[in-house]
Structure 1
Amino acid sequence: MTYRTVMVGLDGAPTCAARTEVAIHLAQDFDAHLIGVAPTGMVDLPAAPGAAALLGDYAASAWPLLIEKAEEAAGEFRARCEAAGLPSFEALVDEGPVAASLAGRAHCTDLLVMSQPDPAQAGHRYELSTLEQVLLHGARPTLLVPYTHHGPLRMRRMLIGWDESREAVRAMTDALPLLRRAQQVTLAHWRHDPDSGRVLQRLHSVHQWLAFHGVEAQPQDLVTSLPIGEAMLSAACDLDTDLIVMGAYSHPRWSEFLFGGTSRTLLGAMTVPVLMSH
């Protein structure tokens, strides 16, 4: 298993340059075809009372601007790929909603590269909602690049967050091409319950499965009083981790929204790139 195609979402956000650099280096490392997709999004119609008569004119004037911005993002991506000497790439403008466009087109790729929304930017809430929709509805793994990140993805030390869920297994499987390149892989399970008998047996089985696939991981069964997301971020810092691998939204979405959850913690506070699979 390897990554033969990598896709990156394109837009006019300040984080686009960093995620594009990560995607270009991944394409070079895996000799993969790189696809840049710039969704136009939809026209945000005004909702002011009495504005109905103006909606048609507003949409007519706003739509060309959305297309122009998407084409500009695609053009910048194309220029960066040419400058990097990539032998195989394409830049696409997709006329449609951002989340549906990225999730749908990612079905035909091996890995999607996105960015963590920057909370300092005005459109943070919209970008976070869009990203969550991509994670929930996309069929491929998503590599999330922190908004503070610069440079290519480092692959020395990786941390797998395992919680016995199908999403965690899916993430480990999706991340195998990256895990095989790491110098050190930690397979960690955090829990609040001190009874570890069954967990240790399953952890050993997962460790063995990774070994069969060429990944020598160091299993750790950890008891913590912290929320799991915070414990994972703390461990990533202590281990000088380059990449976290984890399942996304393993519980019903409404409970994640009400009570938080590991996925939302990582989306809001990640300090290193995170590969998520749902």
Structure 2
Amino acid sequence: MPEVTAPYQPGTPCWIDLAAPDQQAAIDFYSQVFGWTGEIGPPETGGYAVCELNGKPVAGIMAAVEMGGQPAPPTVWTTYLAAADADATSEAVRGADGTVLMPVMDVMTLGRMCIAADPTGAVFGVWQPRDFPGAGIVNEHGALIWNELNTTDPSAAAAFYKSALGIESTPMEGADNYYSLQVNDRPVGGMQPMSEQMPADTPSHWLAYFSVADTDETVEKVTAAGGAALQRPFDMIAGRMAVVSDPQGATFAVITPKPMNQG
């Protein structure tokens, strides 16, 4: 079922958010492409917008601004991994040769979080839920369906995520040089070496995939709304996908998944 009714298991991608120089423009773009609803939040939340799909939280969009003397964050989608204890996970990240970029902090009564990077440089968030468990809808048009780690060193990354977050990695059957990231033997994401098609200076990164009813039609919507098609629609083992960017440069993937019974 697309609605999430059970808690996210530690290590599972549970939320994504975007830091955008023009927050309202980003909200408008994703509303146009995916049908989200959202508005800039109150000052006490820093204006953070929780976007919804069918009345359920689906993603966050915030303003990319300087804070505490720190430069504004890059315009990227950040994947958050669920944790039972953000403080313990933060220490585990350091112990596994990762880097804590933003220390653990409370987000009102919603949860506790930090921002970290794995040893290959891929940045991710850690979310310990309290009142807010994460995305309330997944795996349907306009909602998150997959999170993929593109890394310069799959072996180092696999060792890190297992040690720090308990995520196992195993070769994915039928997909060359692609790994399934698993929590309690359930696939929760993927991992692959950095593609040679990417620019040479592209850092290791997590890529968010959104499920869509029609990949080609969605790419047309993206470009019509000022975004760009970085990788035109193509057929692959899991369905028909494309990699695109929004008008402010944030990259994401869209996929029309194959029906489960077609393999």
Tell me the TM-score normalized by structure 1.
0.28
- Greater CA radius of gyration, 1 or 2? 1
Return the TM-score normalized by structure 2.
0.29
* Structure that is richer in helix per residue: 1
Return the structure number with greater strand share.
2
